[in-house]
Chains A and B, each alone.
Chain A
Amino acid sequence: RKEVEQDPGPFNVPEGATVAFNCTYSNSASQSFFWYRQDCRKEPKLLMSVYSSGNEDGRFTAQLNRASQYISLLIRDSKLSDSATYLCAVNIDSWGKFQFGAGTQVVVTP
């Protein structure tokens, strides 16, 4: 099993709809989780951290399920500009080493 796995998609989402996807991780000792957004041929940019109790940032909601070892990202009221690849990042040791998933592609259509 890979350390961090994501459904590659693409998730084709009509504008205004809601989309959600998960990222599973194998290391039960992982403590830090992040969602990054990567546009085509660009660098990843932090979207949001994922906190134990779940957190929201505008239209984006992140959740952590420790028991099942996954994090999720939900995007409400999708905009065309949300089209991107969403990478999850999970720390796999205490030395700042993060493992990234291969990303989930989201395509928002008019």
Chain B
Amino acid sequence: DTAVSQTPKYLVTQMGNDKSIKCEQNLGHDTMYWYKQDSKKFLKIMFSYNNKELIINETVPNRFSPKSPDKAHLNLHINSLELGDSAVYFCASSQEEAATTEKLFFGSGTQLSVL
């Protein structure tokens, strides 16, 4: 009964490959996010979706493409992986969009290593 689950937990791949990370939440939340945590531990928002609609799109290379087939799922596809993409990627969800009082529930993270 994990609230926010993402797979895989570890992803090791070669430069230039394309990979996807999947995320699902069973909390009934309307908003889902992707965050990236780099080696310096900064947790930066990449995207947020509310009910399948893109709300936040930070300055992220267009090699990163989020896809939300329904409000319980937000997947992240990355094309042409680069060394600098190595990081931990966290999926998160919150109850409402544009509700600044909403707390975030995070998935356990996907550690991506690009060789």
List residues of chain A with CB under 8 Å of any chain B CB: 31-32, 34, 36, 41-46, 49, 85, 87, 89, 91, 94-100, 102-103
Contact = CB atoms under 8 A, between A and B. Distances in A.
B106 A98 contact: no
B108 A96 contact: no
A64 B30 CA distance: 29
Nearest to A31: B100
Closest CB pairs A-B (n = 10): A43-B106, A100-B43, A32-B100, A91-B100, A46-B103, A102-B41, A95-B98, A102-B42, A43-B108, A32-B101
Contact of A97 (B45, B90, B109): B45
A96 B42 contact: no
Given A44-B43, A95-B56, A102-B40, 9 more contacts: A31-B100, A42-B109, A44-B90, A46-B105, A87-B43, A95-B48, A95-B98, A96-B55, A100-B42
User: Which residue among B31, B35, B43 has the maximum number of chain A CB atoms within 10 Å of its CB?
Assistant: B43
Interface string B73-107: 00000000000000000100010111111111111
Contacts of B94: 96
A32 B101 CA distance: 6
Given A95-B55, A95-B97, A97-B48, A46 B104 contact: yes
Interface in B6-61: 31, 35, 40-45, 48, 55-56
Interface of B: 31, 35, 40-45, 48, 55-56, 90, 94, 96-109, 111
Contacts of A99: 45
A49 B101 contact: yes
A98 B101 contact: no
Nearest to B56: A97
B109 A96 contact: no
A96 B56 contact: yes
Nearest to B90: A43
A89 B103 CA distance: 10
